Amino acid sequence: MRIVLLGPPGAGKGTQAKGISEYYNIPHISTGDLFRENISQGTKLGREAQAYMDRGELVPDSLVIAFVEDRVSKPDCKNGFLLDGFPRTIPQAEAFWTFCADRDEQLNDAVCLNVPDDLIIKRISGRRSCPKCGAVYNIYTNKPKVEGHCDYDGTALVQRSDDTEETVKTRLSVYEKETEPLIGFYKDKGILKEVDAAGPLEEVQRRIIDALK
Ligand code: AP5
């Protein structure tokens, strides 16, 4: 299965991707997580990406496309992958479509998670994540067992630096302008699945898996 997961910031892409990638036994590849790892390791890519991410803007296509194409060429992607947060612009979608076609590895599905704006703001403002393992929680809806600490490794949870009110506004408007047009792109390709992602985690997971059958 080669799947793309679309949706606005805070729609639940990362949260749902974990369960779906386990269900299909394929790697979960999040461009946001990969950039954050590079930032914490102080790599050249991380330094280039950081300023864009802190402003809520997109990292330039030229950096992202080569990075993802390299990642999906690794042996663990032989049976497929789940992309979370990529593609995010029409040039990224076109380049990746051509890349897959050239390898005779067509994308199977593009799943778009639909969530109303007021719920997005609530989800993002309540999000906390583990800086060590990347696990994502929510102080309202998806609490850790011990307040403020990761269930897996006990690390103190943090709020993402791009989850400020101002940056979230920019990320939402960038999503509308740059990423929403991908819904039409994948509809035209005949692989779009739209899923109502407002609802309990397990219920949304079930809807996604049903849509992928
Ligand atoms: P990225 O990390 O991809 O951020 P995003 O798309 O803004 O998405 P989020 O991670 O904010 O949200 P999510 O949908 O994963 O929601 P989550 O599961 O955490 O990208 C960050 C930045 O990197 C970008 O701004 C850009 O600069 C750069 N970048 C990345 N990819 C790029 C690309 N391709 N091109 C250019 N630049 C790129 O859920 C949110 C919260 O809600 C959590 O607390 C969760 O517990 C809770 N929650 C989730 N689902 C539910 C539910 N059903 N019920 C209740 N609570 C829920």
Percent of the chain at pLDDT > 90 equals 89
CB within 8 Å of 28: residues ≥ 6 apart: 17, 18, 20, 21, 81, 82, 84
- The atom of ligand 1 lying closest to the CA of 204 is 53
Q: Is 2 a catalytic residue?
A: no
204 CA distance to ligand 1 centroid (A)? 16
Task: Report the CATH number that the domain containing residue 74 is assigned in CATH.
Answer: 3.40.50.300
Host domain of residue 36: 2-212
45 is written with which tokens?
A: 């890519």
Q: How confident is the model at residue 202 (pLDDT cuts 50, 70, 90)?
A: very high
Query: What are 70-126's pLDDT values in tens digits?
Result: 999 999 999 999 999 999 999 999 999 999 999 999 999 999 999 998 899 889 999
Instruction: Identify the pLDDT of residue 161.
Output: 87
Tell me the C-alpha distance between 64 and 88, whole Å: 10
Average pLDDT, the chain: 95
Region of residue 42 (left: phi > 0; alpha: psi -120 to 50; beta: else): left
Taking alpha carbons only, the member of 97, 107, 78 closest to residue 3 is 107
In short, whether 85's Cβ falls inside 6 Å of ligand 1 is yes
Q: Is 127 a catalytic residue?
A: yes
146 CA distance to ligand 1 centroid (A)? 23
67 is written with which tokens?
A: 């990075």
- pTM of model > 0.85: yes
Total domains in the chain come to: 1
Q: Is 160 a catalytic residue?
A: yes
Tell me the C-alpha distance between 70 and 189, whole Å: 24
